[in-house]
Amino acid sequence: MIHLQGVNKQFGNGSNAIIAVDKVNLDIAEGEIFGIIGYSGAGKSTLIRLLNGLEKPSSGTVKIAGYEMSSVNARELRNARKKISMIFQHFNLLWSRTVKQNISFPLEIAGIKKAERERRVNELIDLVGLKGRENAYPSELSGGQKQRVGIARALANDPEVLLCDEATSALDPETTDSILDLLTSINERLGLTIVLITHEMHVIRKICHRVAVMEAGNVVETGSVLEVFQSPKEPITKRFVSQVTEPVGTEQVLAHIPGGTLIKLAFVGEKTEHPVLASLIRKFDIDVNIVQGNISQTKGGAYGTLILQLLGNEKDVDMAIAYLHELGVQTEVITNE
């Protein structure tokens, strides 16, 4: 569905050149919800502009929905944009138009007859949960409702790909979850391929099948969301994962735990339900204190973390850690005193 090979995007020349996207290779499958995460300046917004044809790569190829975006002519680009739609952080609605008129707008541009426009708009209003708000203006809507209008408008021309550029970052957490649930439902019901740009790992965790992590224009890590949660390789990925798995202030809490050995356990899938802690206490002559614990749900299954303080002689503690490895529990020693 989407294939990027050796994609570079450079702005300016010589000493003033800025490389926004650097040698990016990505494959995104049809029907997948794919997340691209990075901090400001990572290159993710430039990457999404390359996907919708607003920018052309300096080198490399961008293929999406059957179109080579780096070489399409103006007519082909117009056709491509019927298959590639987009929703935005700040909604980009027409403030002088009602909900119904906003959703109808791309159908008017496409020359769709009025009766068909009416049918399609009503269908989309039901799909995004805005029944009863058809005649409201954007100024009368909440942030979540505005984004629902944006989603409905983006779906008006039956696209194959939906690009989401920080689509929830202007919303509160509860509204964010409702919009993510809507995108998941749309993906499942319509088989739509969704590419989601964000700087929030919660968004990735909740709805994405796979994720690419960007830093300084490079894709530094890719994989299924569960794999990335379980074994983040790059420092930036570890920081993103900790947004979800470790509460704010974790480092300060750990710094004030007196004595013993602090270990971090990671559980995946069914292992999150195993009585590992009880087995540890029964088998070894050590004291075990729970410092912190968390379970996160991803599209690929559950991922849990547990930070323990182990108190006992060095040999028993080492045997306990070895036992955890035997059980297949990923174990990291944080401090050993």
Same domain, 328 and 187: no
Same domain, 208 and 273: no
Query: Considering the domain boundaries, does residue 204 fall inside one?
Result: yes
Same domain, 224 and 284: no
pLDDT score at 302: 75
CATH code, domain carrying 69: 3.40.50.300
Same domain, 203 and 59: yes
Same domain, 159 and 288: no
pLDDT digits (tens, 9 = 90+) for 229-248: 888 899 999 889 887 776 55
pLDDT digits (tens, 9 = 90+) for 75-123: 888 888 889 999 988 888 999 999 999 999 999 998 999 999 999 999 9
Residues 6+ apart with CB under 8 A from 240: 37, 201, 204, 213, 232
Same domain, 13 and 146: yes
pTM: 0.84
Domain range for residue 161? 2-232
Cβ-defined contacts of 289-297 (< 8 Å, 24+): 289/260, 291/253, 291/254, 291/257, 291/262, 292/246, 292/247, 292/250, 292/253, 294/245, 294/246, 294/247, 295/267, 296/205, 296/229, 296/244, 296/245, 297/205, 297/206
Domain count within the chain: 2
Contact by Cβ (8 Å): 302, 295 = yes
Determine the Cα–Cα distance for residues 274 and 222; give it in Å rounded to an integer. Answer: 29
Question: Largest Cα–Cα distance of the chain, in whole Å?
Answer: 80
CATH code, domain carrying 323: 3.30.70.260
Any idea what DSSP says for residue 139?
Answer: G
Same domain, 87 and 63: yes
Query: Considering the domain boundaries, does residue 239 fall inside one?
Result: no
Query: Considering the domain boundaries, does residue 238 fall inside one?
Result: no
Same domain, 321 and 197: no
